[in-house]
Amino acid sequence: MATALVYHEDMTAARLLWDDPECELERPERLAAVLSLLRLRGLEQRCLRLSACEASEAELGLVHSPEYVALVRETQTLDEDELRALSEQYDAVYFHPSTFHCARLAVGAALQLVDAVLTGAAPNGLALVRPPGHHSHRAAANGFCVFNNVAIAAKHAKQKHGLHRILIVDWDVHHGQGIQYIFEDDPSVLYFSWHRYEYGRFWPFLRESDADAVGQGQGRGFTVNLPWNQVGMGNADYLAAFLHVLLPLAFEFNPELVLVSAGFDSAIGDPEGQMQATPECFAHLTQLLQVLAGGRVCAVLEGGYHLDSLSESVCMTVQALLGDPGPVLQGSMEPCQSALESIQSVRAAQAPHWTSLQQGRAPGPSPSICPTEGRPLPLLPGGPTGEAAALGLLGFHPTPASPVHMAVALTGPSATLALSPEVLLQEEVSVGRQETEAWARQHESLTQDKALSALGKFLFLADGILNGKVTCGIAAIPACAKAATLDVAIRQSLSRGAQRLLCLVLGELDWPLDIADDGRILWLNIGGKETAVRSAFHISTPLPGTTGGFLNYTLGLVLPLAYSFQPELVLVTVGPAQGLQDPHVALLAAMLRIPAAGRVLALLEEESASQLVTTLAPVLHGEAPPSLGPFLMASPEDIQTLKCLRAQLEPRWKLLQVASEAQGEAGSCHRVPLGKPPSGTNYTDQACS
Ligand code: X5A
Ligand code: ZN
């Protein structure tokens, strides 16, 4: 099952016929540039290509008034003067004789994408469209937009597919006020938008783009606005917004479908946005959304006016949709003060409506108003599940990233799982016997033959990941040898020059490892006996008691730490009785894989390995984790623990912050250059004429 890519060349037909410096940005070359880079990278060829068809007038009528549709239909026969006169009736809009055809194709493309994903023909997808849609109203064109592609797609998903909860993520740099107006009183559509705002001084200059606009009536809390009050927002700012605002609400909302108003004018180099986020950031944003809604993510192009930045960013989005691991996110992971102020203001505005934001305060009387009625979506056909899935995933899955995608080394009763012919042969999955014995000598528990051979395999996988030959892996060892194996793997990795290893220990580890606290290892134990911060690199916390608590820990602690640390390798050890349910372990692995650029090595105890392999293999391979089930709010104790951990760790790991240190003080947005852009690309403002 491949990512759907919906397109039609006719959408390059509409163009500006007169001089207008504001509108000339939105030009046909945008689609041509994107498509040619997708082809050059071999990405288009890997997608399920669908040719767009025009939406029907009934479909346009899901959002737009019949009078407005008729008016746009009439533009087909207008001459240039008439087109110009009509265009001037709207804010930042131009009409062309082909506009009606293009705009119907754009809506049609969005609907076909939703149909493909909701019928199971594709797991996810992207519609490459012009004109964009998110600014258009029920009866007005606005901001280059004629019909509201994404809003119509959401209505269609509700009406034709019976969905009850749809999340719209608008990462375009402009506020999609059109979408906001259409769904402002509708609790079945959660609309999230971040946008350049500058305290109301940026287009479209609306009071209702600010954080305190949260929706109306039944829809209160289902409009989420994150206004950026400075330009220059970068990768860390966008990640902080996802980790501390969007994702907590999204998990609590539990959407059945994610629609993305995918504008790339929020990327570096764009003349409209003036932001600093690199194209790689969009792979991360996409991957973070793919843990929701069973991975059913439909992205629909909105803005994006710097042709190189736009094309690179779309390629990153498509790579993520295809399930490719990586890329590594470069650059400072410290959000700027202005971003933190914005994040804090939207969290404060939304806290009355979302239990996952009610931190530190006694939970108020407001119950979660997230609509929970509605049947769960059936499992889509074609997606591998259970043991068969694991079997299918054990082999070589070459990706551009590394020759072997996933390697699995199992022993004992579960070893038979690895006997598929495609799999790395058991003997090969090992470093040399002598080397293994040399490493093992220091540990009593590793002297047995069985433990020794398991160790050899584990070391081979760790080595393979560090030198780029393998993306990720799963290995099993006898329980009694687990701590020693981890110890040796860490020492081996350090001896080979690893600079940053993240060790995530789920459950108690019976043997206190004596590892140097020199900043090369970040040790995070969840499910330990007590809360302890021995250093910024040695953290232990008990298991959270509820799904809400678990999500708080994952989004508010584990992910920010992992992104801040930027590990070269993540070692995850999972005990048999660590207390986390399988879907929790799956979600943690699925999410940790993102900051780690896929490089996760799981160490299981062989007694419980066969069960955990079926949980872990699919998510490490890029599949969506299963739903966590009903959302239960975090206990006051868990909230308190997280608060206390954060307070101690924030000075070192800045992505943990959810509020500005000097809230109220206008902190200046530090701007560290975010690594170098891909070679040959110069993200300076591009002449747009
Ligand atoms: C879709 C989109 C921007 C309109 C800007 C007008 N529209 N100044 O990015
Ligand atoms: Zn835009």
Q: What is the number of the ligand 1 atom nearest to the C-alpha of 265? A: 9
170 lines ligand 1 (CB under 6 A): no
Which of 188, 194, 148, 192 has the alpha carbon at shortest distance from 300?
148
Distance between CA atoms of residues 153 and 111, nearest Å? 5
**134 catalytic, yes or no?**
no
Residue with CA at minimum distance from ligand 1 atom 7: 143
- The answer, yes or no, to whether residue 639 has pLDDT greater than 90, is yes
Q: Which strands form 189-196's sheet, in the order they lie side by side?
A: 48-51, 4-7, 125-127, 297-301, 257-262, 166-170, 189-196, 223-228
Quick check: CB of 304 below 6 Å from ligand 1? Answer: no
Q: DSSP letters along 295-330, please?
A: G-EEEEE-----HHHHHHHHHHHHHHHHT---PPPP
Hey, which of 26, 30, 150 would you mutate to test ligand 1's pocket, going by the most ligand atoms within 8 Å of its Cβ? Answer: 26
Average pLDDT over residues 119-143: 98
Query: What is the number of the ligand closest to the CA of 265?
Result: 2
Q: How far is CA 680 from the centre of its chain?
A: 27
Strand partners, 613: none
* Least confident interval from 204-213, 408-417, 446-455, 548-557: 408-417
Nearest to 180 by CA among 152, 154, 209, 145: 209
What percentage of the chain exceeds 70 in pLDDT? Answer: 86
Instruction: Tell me if 606 CB under 6 Å of ligand 1.
Output: no
- Cβ(102)–Cβ(130) under 8 Å? yes
Cα–Cα distance list, 473 to 552, 597, 599, 618 (Å):
27, 13, 8, 11
Distance (Å, rounded) from C-alpha 604 to C-alpha 609? 6
pTM (predicted TM-score): 0.90
- Ramachandran assignment for 323, one of left (phi > 0), alpha (psi -120 to 50 degrees), beta (any other): left
pLDDT tier at 192, thresholds 50, 70, 90: very high
203 lines ligand 1 (CB under 6 A): yes
Ligand 1: which of 135, 171, 202 to mutate, most ligand atoms within 8 Å of CB? 135
Write the residue with the smallest CA distance to atom 9 of ligand 1. Answer: 303
Distance CA(256)–CA(3), nearest Å, equals: 18
The topology (CATH level 3) of 4-349 is Arginase; Chain A (3.40.800)
Q: Is 68 in the pocket of ligand 1 (CB under 6 A)?
A: no
Collect all residues with Cβ–Cβ distance below 8 Å to 56 and sequence separation of at least 6: none
The band of 433, judged by pLDDT with boundaries at 50, 70 and 90, is: confident
Percent of residues, the chain, with pLDDT higher than 90: 71
Q: Is 303 in the pocket of ligand 1 (CB under 6 A)?
A: yes
CATH class of 403-620: alpha beta
CB 432 within 8 A of CB 459: no
What's the rounded mean pLDDT across residues 276-289? Answer: 98
Ligand 2 center to residue 594 CA distance, Å? 26
Determine the atom of ligand 1 nearest the C-alpha atom of 23.
6
Length in residues, the chain: 689
Mean pLDDT lowest for which of 144-153, 155-164, 633-642, 666-675? 666-675
Q: Is 135's C-beta closer than 6 angstroms to any atom of ligand 1? A: yes
Place of tokens 């594709």: 122
Lowest mean pLDDT among 37-46, 412-421, 654-663: 412-421
The pLDDT score that the predictor gives to residue 399 is 39
**Residues 6 or more apart in contact with residue 452 via CB below 8 angstroms:** 436, 437, 440, 446
Residue pair 601/465 in contact by the 8 Å Cβ criterion:
yes
CA–centroid distance, 534 to ligand 2, in Å, is: 46
Q: Which residues contact 394 (CB under 8 A, 6 or more apart)?
A: 406, 408, 417, 418, 420, 422, 423, 617
Q: In the chain, list all ranges with CATH 3.40.800.20.
A: 4-349, 403-620
Kindly report the protein residue whose alpha carbon is nearest to atom 5 of ligand 1.
Answer: 143
Mean pLDDT, range 80-106, rounded to an integer: 98
Which positions ≥6 away from 91 have C-beta within 8 Å? 142, 143, 204
Query: How confident is the model over 350-391, as pLDDT tens digits?
Result: 999 999 999 754 444 333 322 333 333 332 333 333 332 332
